[in-house]
Amino acid sequence: MAILVRLDRVLLEQRMSLTELADRVGVTIANLSILKTGKARAIRFSTLDALCRELGCQPGDILSFEPGPSDYADDEDSYGGA
């Protein structure tokens, strides 16, 4: 997947633990851990909003898009080519 989660970097910059963030946001440590390791398949906008509010950051600080060659091939198949 071309979406990368950079929550660990933001937590390090904020000097905040995953436990503290979980308490502040109201999300379980297990769910934040799944997000942090990049294993999450989705995130609710309300959760992203809460993370950004508590970390004082933008969504782009937590999530980034870095396509690889196979990602472009998938796009052409999905949209009928260029």
Quote the pTM value. 0.79
CA 5 to chain centre: 4
pLDDT at 67: 87
Residue 80 clears pLDDT 70, i.e. is over it? no
- Percent with pLDDT over 90 in the chain: 77
pLDDT at 82: 47
Query: Domain containing 40 — which CATH number?
Result: 1.10.260.40
Residue 35 clears pLDDT 50, i.e. is over it? yes
Q: Which residue has the tokens 């942090």?
A: 36
The number of distinct structural domains making up the chain is: 1
- Structural domain boundaries, residue 47: 3-79
State the average pLDDT for the chain. Answer: 88
